[in-house]
Structure 1
Amino acid sequence: MMSFIKELKRQRNISDKELMFVFSFVFLFFLYPLSMTAQNKTQGTKIKNEVKGYIVDAQTGEPLVFANAVIKNTLIGAATNKRGFFVILDAPAGKNILVVSYIGYRTKEIEIEIKDGKDEELKIKLESQDIQSKEINVVADHYKFWKTADEVSQITISPITLSKLPNLGEKDIFRSLQLLPGISSLNDGSSGLYVRGGTPDQNLILLDGITVYHVDHFFGFFSAFNSDAIKDVQLYKGGFDARFGGRVSSVVDLTGKTGDMEKFRLSLGANLLSVNGVVEIPLFEKGSVLISARRSYADIINSGFYDQIYGFLTGGETTQSNVTQRGPGRFGEQENMVTPSFYFYDLNVKASYKLADKDFLSFSIYNGKDYLDQSQNSQQVTLRNNSTSATRTNKDLTDWGNLGGSLKWTRQWSDLWFSDLTMSYSNYLSKNETGSQFDQNVQNTGAAAVGSSTNSVQNNEVKDMTIKFDNEFLLSKDHNTSFGLWFSDLSTNYIFTVNDTLSILNRSQKGFQFAGYLQDKWKISELLEFKFGLRQTYFSPTKKIYLEPRTSFQYKLSDLIKIKGAWGIYNQYINQITHENVLEGSRDFWLISSDELKPISSTHYILGAEFETSDYLFSIEGYYKKLDNLLEYSQRIVRSQGNRLISSSNYESNFYQGEGFSEGLEFLIQKKFGNFNGWICYTLGKVEYTFPDFDDGNPFPAKQDKTNEVKVIGSYETSDWNFSASWVYSTGLPYTAPESQYFITLLNGETQSYIHVSDKNIYRFPDYHRLDVSASYKFRNRSFDGELGLSVFNLYNRNNIWYKKYDLTVSPIEVTNVSMLGIIPTIFFKVNF
């Protein structure tokens, strides 16, 4: 043991003080629950009137995560954990009605008898809303799409109902999240989540404990998660508790489906861009294996839908041109053939097995990849006068993706103590290579061919090995304690080179985080509930300890009205650096924080209120986020008289740090009951940054700043048909523009042009709005069922502005508006066996 400690200190350069900090975590978080258990035994504590059990899918037997079980006409209840298990302590004795509900499932009422000493474990099966039920104890449908949780700024989403919302070709979890209050996108081509003014890299994205660093396909058009493989989505828009760390904006916690433990199942689907399939295989009545795969087929079979999206992303460039001879010395022949090749795929595999009554083991794999080849095959040019030919070959290759896996052991020590031990690995890799080769040959002269070439390469890789040990301990009906340990070993590598010799940036980093957390959810009375938490993180690159206290509360003014609030400090130790797109450096990249590039820090302040009836929910929530140590990277390249590229020798000087804030108010009206349901939400927000080296240190609107945003979503459903529509409106995004151009004649007679650029982001694009609609039909017979649907994006073909192009070769400067996507109809098909 001592030799291990010495080796750890030597390799990681850890001081005795830092080592004592690490072991104090172990002492605190392992002895605390054991001491509480011993104390309860010593005092002879006995749990009375206990109601416990599992809530599962009636068709597949899958556990339902965060389902609710409540004693009717009381405030006494509990939510299920990751295994679908719940326990209610000190329930009222006698005959009662247990109301069980879950998003996308039919609420169920069960008669139970509660008495002291009765230790019966219930198994409650809920039916999906898509299944016709004949049970008399199934009550009215509620919350078909999503619901707010008791925790502040937390939302539970059901992936099984997402196909009912309008979509852009794919049933997309992240694009559906963008329809919720406080969550935005930048443009039609982005599935990234801008949560309350934060950026996508500031969100912690977890899939079965795997940290996912790149969450989209096709340059952001679609999210990288196949919704058919996801069982549950928990979204924390801010103020999240001490269990989560490492990000400063929000948390998206996804739980993958475990698969049917009793019956083999097969599901197949297709749309105008991809095909997908899901296979569920039982394992000896104690487990299951689920395999989900999705792949685009644009590289095999082209479609108009793919052409529209590709044209949008590339600015609508032509793919082929032919120019004939027009006179002496002119080009006699020019051929320019560009045949882009693109595909993406993702694969989810999850194996689950019940080792014993109290032990459950699961293993998950996620692999997602994109590949795009926009290289030009060749270009042949012939000059008739001197018989000179030239051949040009352009290379443009990009591929990126995530590979990850996790192994989780879940242990139920008792009805009151649950543990999860998770080991996960995540690897993100992005590669981009561009270049051109030009060869010129003068025929019949014997002269050697003349050639030239240029190229640039950008590679970014992130490796994350994480071990987490999470515990939940029910001390009593009024105290629910969570505690855990978390270790993450990180490494990043970013290389940007030009012409194989000029290194613009080459940065490799390693570091680890060791964290522990402890929190208690204390129900002070039937009306007031507090949660107190503390997270401490030791970050090796800075050799500092970061304290993150967090607290939240909920106060029930009545059965219908409650007030919520939260406050907390958050730090982020790995950042996606914004690249200013100079010299083809168009891709953001991940780097670990350091003493020079400090971790991003944020403080959240949240306060809101809800008024909820059986049919409607009205809510208002205000938030303020203070942001420190924001990062941007700007590489300046100049040309010498010899036309050679010159870069700053100290790349650290190209990083800039600043601060900012995000504030706003969210209003929501949700109709959650009946055949027709939906919601209307409005967000008033502001996001402002200040960088001392930008605009003389004056504050400016962030690129994601939207003053006003309105979303109206409606859905009407019959037994076989579903019709839905969504309308989105927002204030135009800010942008920076060149305002004038002037020329100066140098002493050597050369003329140099200069562009005067406006202050950063002082202009705004016109307001954005669009209407999407969809219709779907469910069909069934004895051996299979399925769904056929049509979705129309941007129904009234609104011409929204994406960005502006400037032609600086003319005076005055010529400006062209580049539009976002117009009207796009898509169809989808799915069949289940």
Structure 2
Amino acid sequence: MERRIKESILFFSFLLFVLFSSYAQNTNKQESLAHVINVLEAQYHVQFNYAEDTIEAVFLIPPDTSLSLKEAITYLETQTGLLFSILSDGIILVKPREAMVLCGYVKDKDNLQPLASATVQTLKNSTTTDENGFFQIKIENVTQSITIRFLGYKTIIKLTNQFSKTGCDDIFLFPNFQSLSEVVVSNYIASGINKINNGSYEINFSDFDILPGLIDNDVLQSVQAFPGIQSINETVSNINIRGGTHDQNLILWDDIKMYQSGHFFGLISMYNPQITHSVSLRKNGSDVSYTDGVSGTISMQTNQSVNNKLNATLGINLTDANAFVDVPINKTSSIQVAARKSISDFIETPTYSAFFDRISQNTEVSNNTTTITNTDKTFDFYDTSLRWIYKIGDKDELRINFINVFNELQFNENAVVNDEEESRKSNLTQYSIAGALHYNRIWNDKLQTTFEAYETDYKLKAVNVDILDSQRFLQENIVSETSLKLKSNYRFNNALHLLSGYHFVETQVTNLDDIDTPLFRLLVSEVVRTHGVFSQLGYKSKNRNSNLNFGVRYNFIEKFSKSIWEPRLSFSQRFLDFFTVEVLGEFKHQNTSQVINFQNDFLGIEKRRWQLSNNKDIPVITSKQASLGLNYGHRGWLFNIEGYIKHVDGITAQSQGFQNQFEFAKSKGVNRVIGVDVLFRKHINKFSTWISYAYMHNEYQFKDLQPNYFPSNYNIKHAATLGMTYGLTNLKLSAGLNWHSGKPTTLPVTGNEIVNDEVNYEAVNISSLEDYLRLDISALYNFKLTKKTKANVGISLWNVLNKENQINRFYKINSGELNETNQRSLGLTPNAVLNIYF
């Protein structure tokens, strides 16, 4: 017995020895210096600054956690041979002992913001600043000079003996040309959404958190978070800015006008979220360099800075897979490429099914005659985009952009004809391709010029077969536009500048209708050329409380010998520290609009086609708009109210989408809108909540129709949103409730619905659909996969309550009976995303 006890003691002693040895080996395992630094930063609440090449090949056993900060630093110096200098502001500088190294932080003199990717050079060495504006550079001797340059700022040259010997200096660059636009309200709704002093709103996706129902940076869904902007049918191809139609919006991607806006024919944006850096929204008070967009402007931008490190992203969600890469070519040039492709070829997810059912609802794709069946329904989309930027020197920059977008829907129609089964294919394609060149030159600290040129092309094509009549119906709608713009910006002083320029636009629109049996072909192609000259004076007071932009644009349309003068105004005045009053106004025009000839055109999916004005029955659309707003912001509270009036002249009945007694009317008229947009928002630490409300009175006047005055099809009188976001270090949550009064509709007269084999309608748009209500939630979690690889996963639920919202109602007579058709919104629709950042 005693022997067994001794053997047991020896065995457990040996086991403990093995475990201890294993533990000791694990604790003595060498780690990279970068990992050790990350641990020390968290332990002692300090920050290490270093050049990546200084530490990338250094490995050591981590210091004991019981050591003080100074003892840990001494240990690091002994083990690595590097010099660790503790600065007074809690920053520890890491540099080699054997070389003389200077460091600093390059910042903007006016706003003290760090300047990333600034170039720092000596005769033999060069480097660039990181995202914090920090740099380190080796020097040969104390008499050397160091040159620091950044595009748009004055280059400076400093001797090395002018730098601090004990720390890293702040080095301030003065703008070579100063922009007068700046943020007046940050985090307007959520983080990354800001209000600018020229009356516009900006979403910076690099700082953007999350919005209800969204887990990707879907640009055209995100802008609908602002009061006064919504989509009456939940699509990004029908965004209504203050009651206007979608064709009245100017949509720009890196200053290229786009005539298409969505994939899935409008359910998601066609602009890849990985390459889109920011978006600017203007409801009113546009810059004079812009033309078109009588209701508003949505301008998207890619990142305008040169990237010096390889960045890449891979992502997948329940509709598509996407990839993005930002490749440095050298220290003055980098190229970004993004691509996205639907995954329906491999798997049909619940999200895909919900989207497909939504776009094909009440169309020929889902409905056909009782003797015809539709099979093999497929949908596919992809997009690619590219941005190349080259900083030629301190004063010159070249940028090239390219985008290509494609959507395709196809299906087979099957029927028994003459006792034989036949099958024929119908399809619908929609695509855009565009390219642009931008050249910017800073001549001196007074004058800057910019040259912009783009070519944008859009094509919508449908082949619709009628298998019973052996008929093929081909339809095409093609837009081709060329634009040349030259801008000069002259700065008199820090307060006053003058923007001037010339703009030429040539737009060609072609429409084709082709039937093989009986033979019919109608091809109409028109061209309109417009010359624009503009000038705008900008003023900003010394204390930055007063901001004014006032200018005028003169347009001459060659084809009609028509002159149009367009004054523009944006003014803001800050008072009593926390209040800002804002006055905006503009005159604008546009030569293009979208019309619906027949509701079943283009298979009923994307039935709107672009057309050019002929200055007769299709007038040039002109608008006048004015607004007055008041803003209060203090201690996390924000209150904003803005009243506006808008008058749009030259609209046509065909562009408004009537499905009542005016469905086939051809008349020109006026749209008048009066409204108020209100926003309350409160930030409490990581929690933000907001409530917005929009009131609108929106009516038409058509002199050739009876009655002359009646509510607009887009007259959503009341709309409200309640939203909230909560952000932890790695987790972001958001929820939102959207409500608005029902869309106007026209009902048949009760008890006398049919007269002379036609629907007998009541007065136009005096009734309304049911109120709209939708609850959305979303969550996003960020985490690290490796030291250099990050990732996030997210999930969203659109229409959590699965409410069947009515978005449209229309009536048809079939075999002498009245048929009512109700179109519904998306039901409960989930989505999930995984993004990996390299």
TM-score normalised by length of structure 1? 0.74
Instruction: Report the Cα distance in structure 2 between the residues aligned to 1:366 and 1:295, rounded to whole angstroms.
Output: 14
For 1:234-273, list aligned pairs within 5 A.
Answer: 234-258=280-304, 261-273=307-319
Aligned to 1:357, which of 388, 394, 397? 394
Q: What residue is the counterpart of 2:621 in the other structure?
A: 600
Q: What residue is the counterpart of 2:473 in the other structure?
A: 456
Unaligned runs of 5+ residues in structure 2 are 1-107, 120-127, 132-149, 155-167, 179-185, 658-663
Are 1:742 and 1:753, in contact at CA under 8 Å, matched by a contact in 2? Answer: no
Q: What residue is the counterpart of 1:4 in the other structure?
A: none
Aligned to 1:702, which of 709, 712, 727? 712
Aligned to 1:475, which of 492, 516, 536? 492
Instruction: Report the Cα distance in structure 2 between the residues aligned to 1:477 and 1:571, rounded to whole angstroms.
Output: 33
User: Are 1:679 and 2:690 counterparts?
Assistant: yes
Q: What residue is the counterpart of 2:778 in the other structure?
A: 774
User: Are 1:404 and 2:466 counterparts?
Assistant: no
For 1:655-666, list aligned pairs within 5 A.
Answer: 655-666=666-677
Moved more, 268-277 or 161-170: 161-170
Q: What residue is the counterpart of 1:538 in the other structure?
A: 556
Instruction: Report the Cα distance in structure 2 between the residues aligned to 1:754 and 1:660, rounded to whole angstroms.
Output: 28
Query: Residues 827 and 273 (structure 1 numbering): CA distance in 2 closer, same or farther, change over 3 Å?
Result: same
Q: Which amino acid aligns with 2:548?
A: F
Give, in angstroms, the shift of residue 143 of structure 1: 5.8
Query: Residues 338 and 231 (structure 1 numbering): CA distance in 2 closer, same or farther, change over 3 Å?
Result: same
Give, in angstroms, the shift of residue 309 of structure 1: 1.6
For 1:303-314, list aligned pairs within 5 A.
Answer: 303-314=349-360
Secondary structure of the residue that 2:356 maps to in structure 1? Answer: helix
User: Are 1:825 and 2:836 counterparts?
Assistant: no
Instruction: Report the Cα distance in structure 1 between the residues aligned to 2:808 and 2:304, rounded to whole angstroms.
Output: 43
Identity of aligned residues (%): 24
Query: Residues 741 and 344 (structure 1 numbering): CA distance in 2 closer, same or farther, change over 3 Å?
Result: farther
Query: Residues 317 and 490 (structure 1 numbering): CA distance in 2 closer, same or farther, change over 3 Å?
Result: closer
Are 1:142 and 1:673, in contact at CA under 8 Å, matched by a contact in 2? Answer: no
Secondary structure of the residue that 1:738 maps to in structure 2? Answer: coil
For 1:174-185, list aligned pairs within 5 A.
Answer: 174-185=220-231
Q: What residue is the counterpart of 1:729 in the other structure?
A: 739
Give, in angstroms, the shift of residue 284 of structure 1: 1.4
Q: Which amino acid aligns with 1:551?
A: L
Are 1:169 and 1:272, in contact at CA under 8 Å, matched by a contact in 2? Answer: no
Give, in angstroms, the shift of residue 454 of structure 1: 2.3
For 1:178-257, list aligned pairs within 5 A.
Answer: 178-190=224-236, 192-257=238-303
Secondary structure of the residue that 2:470 maps to in structure 1? Answer: strand
Give, in angstroms, the shift of residue 619 of structure 1: 0.8
Unaligned runs of 5+ residues in structure 1 are 1-48, 65-82, 88-109, 124-138, 322-330, 382-387, 439-451, 637-652, 745-751
Give, in angstroms, the shift of residue 721 of structure 1: 0.8
Instruction: Report the Cα distance in structure 1 between the residues aligned to 2:729 and 2:524, rounded to whole angstroms.
Output: 58
Q: What residue is the counterpart of 1:72 in the other structure?
A: none
Instruction: Report the Cα distance in structure 1 between the residues aligned to 2:405 and 2:491, rounded to whole angstroms.
Output: 39
The CA deviation string for residues 288-344 of structure 1, in whole angstroms up to 9 with x for no partner, is 0110001112133222221122112222899999xxxxxxxxx9xx89451111111
Are 1:566 and 1:605, in contact at CA under 8 Å, matched by a contact in 2? Answer: yes
Instruction: Report the Cα distance in structure 1 between the residues aligned to 2:170 and 2:187, rounded to whole angstroms.
Output: 20
Instruction: Report the Cα distance in structure 1 between the residues aligned to 2:109 and 2:115, rounded to whole angstroms.
Output: 20
Query: Residues 390 and 455 (structure 1 numbering): CA distance in 2 closer, same or farther, change over 3 Å?
Result: same
User: Are 1:589 and 2:609 counterparts?
Assistant: yes
Give, in angstroms, the shift of residue 627 of structure 1: 1.1
Give, in angstroms, the shift of residue 601 of structure 1: 0.7
For 1:165-176, list aligned pairs within 5 A.
Answer: 165-167=211-213, 170-176=216-222
Instruction: Report the Cα distance in structure 2 between the residues aligned to 1:804 and 1:315, rounded to whole angstroms.
Output: 12
The CA deviation string for residues 564-623 of structure 1, in whole angstroms up to 9 with x for no partner, is 112221111222224452677841111222221221011011111111124222111011
Q: What residue is the counterpart of 1:150 in the other structure?
A: 197
Secondary structure of the residue that 1:633 maps to in structure 2? Answer: helix
Give, in angstroms, the shift of residue 142 of structure 1: 10
Give, in angstroms, the shift of residue 53 of structure 1: 8.7
Q: What residue is the counterpart of 1:379 in the other structure?
A: 415
Instruction: Report the Cα distance in structure 2 between the residues aligned to 1:622 and 1:684, rounded to whole angstroms.
Output: 9
Instruction: Report the Cα distance in structure 1 between the residues aligned to 2:686 and 2:585, rounded to whole angstroms.
Output: 38
Instruction: Report the Cα distance in structure 1 between the residues aligned to 2:433 and 2:400, rounded to whole angstroms.
Output: 14
Instruction: Report the Cα distance in structure 2 between the residues aligned to 1:259 and 1:500, rounded to whole angstroms.
Output: 57
Are 2:236 and 2:261, in contact at CA under 8 Å, matched by a contact in 1? Answer: no
Q: Which amino acid aligns with 2:196?
A: A
Q: What residue is the counterpart of 2:320 in the other structure?
A: 274
Q: Which amino acid aligns with 1:363?
A: I
Instruction: Report the Cα distance in structure 2 between the residues aligned to 1:817 and 1:705, rounded to whole angstroms.
Output: 19
The CA deviation string for residues 192-229 of structure 1, in whole angstroms up to 9 with x for no partner, is 32111111111111111211111111111011111111
Q: Which amino acid aligns with 2:687?
A: F
Instruction: Report the Cα distance in structure 1 between the residues aligned to 2:514 and 2:220, rounded to whole angstroms.
Output: 34
Are 2:744 and 2:767, in contact at CA under 8 Å, matched by a contact in 1? Answer: yes
Query: Residues 272 and 693 (structure 1 numbering): CA distance in 2 closer, same or farther, change over 3 Å?
Result: same
Are 1:541 and 1:595, in contact at CA under 8 Å, matched by a contact in 2? Answer: no
Instruction: Report the Cα distance in structure 2 between the residues aligned to 1:720 and 1:317, rounded to whole angstroms.
Output: 44
Query: Residues 707 and 84 (structure 1 numbering): CA distance in 2 closer, same or farther, change over 3 Å?
Result: farther
Aligned to 1:618, which of 635, 639, 659? 639
Aligned to 1:493, which of 505, 510, 513? 510
Moved more, 756-765 or 700-709: 756-765
Instruction: Report the Cα distance in structure 2 between the residues aligned to 1:86 and 1:819, rounded to whole angstroms.
Output: 54
Give, in angstroms, the shift of residue 556 of structure 1: 2.3
Instruction: Report the Cα distance in structure 1 between the residues aligned to 2:361 and 2:329, rounded to whole angstroms.
Output: 50
Q: What residue is the counterpart of 2:482 in the other structure?
A: 465
Q: Which amino acid aligns with 2:385?
A: N
Give, in angstroms, the shift of residue 797 of structure 1: 1.5
Aligned to 1:514, which of 523, 526, 531? 531
Query: Residues 459 and 819 (structure 1 numbering): CA distance in 2 closer, same or farther, change over 3 Å?
Result: same
- Give 1 or 2 for the bigger CA radius of gyration: 2
RMSD: 3.6
User: Are 1:567 and 2:585 counterparts?
Assistant: yes
Count how many residue pairs are aligned between Structure 1 and Structure 2: 673
Q: What residue is the counterpart of 2:648 in the other structure?
A: 627
Secondary structure of the residue that 2:351 maps to in structure 1? Answer: helix
Are 1:518 and 1:534, in contact at CA under 8 Å, matched by a contact in 2? Answer: yes
Give, in angstroms, the shift of residue 260 of structure 1: 5.8
Q: Which amino acid aligns with 1:340?
A: K
Instruction: Report the Cα distance in structure 2 between the residues aligned to 1:463 and 1:259, rounded to whole angstroms.
Output: 30
Instruction: Report the Cα distance in structure 2 between the residues aligned to 1:754 and 1:212, rounded to whole angstroms.
Output: 40
Query: Residues 778 and 379 (structure 1 numbering): CA distance in 2 closer, same or farther, change over 3 Å?
Result: same
Q: Which amino acid aligns with 2:796?
A: S
Q: What residue is the counterpart of 2:680 in the other structure?
A: 669
For 1:11-160, list aligned pairs within 5 A.
Answer: 51=110, 56=115, 85=152, 144-152=191-199, 154-160=200-206
Instruction: Report the Cα distance in structure 1 between the residues aligned to 2:207 and 2:505, rounded to whole angstroms.
Output: 35
The CA deviation string for residues 13-59 of structure 1, in whole angstroms up to 9 with x for no partner, is xxxxxxxxxxxxxxxxxxxxxxxxxxxxxxxxxxxx97599855589
Instruction: Report the Cα distance in structure 2 between the residues aligned to 1:584 and 1:397, rounded to whole angstroms.
Output: 9
TM-score normalised by length of structure 2? 0.74
Are 1:741 and 1:754, in contact at CA under 8 Å, matched by a contact in 2? Answer: no
Give, in angstroms, the shift of residue 779 of structure 1: 0.8
Moved more, 782-791 or 528-537: 528-537
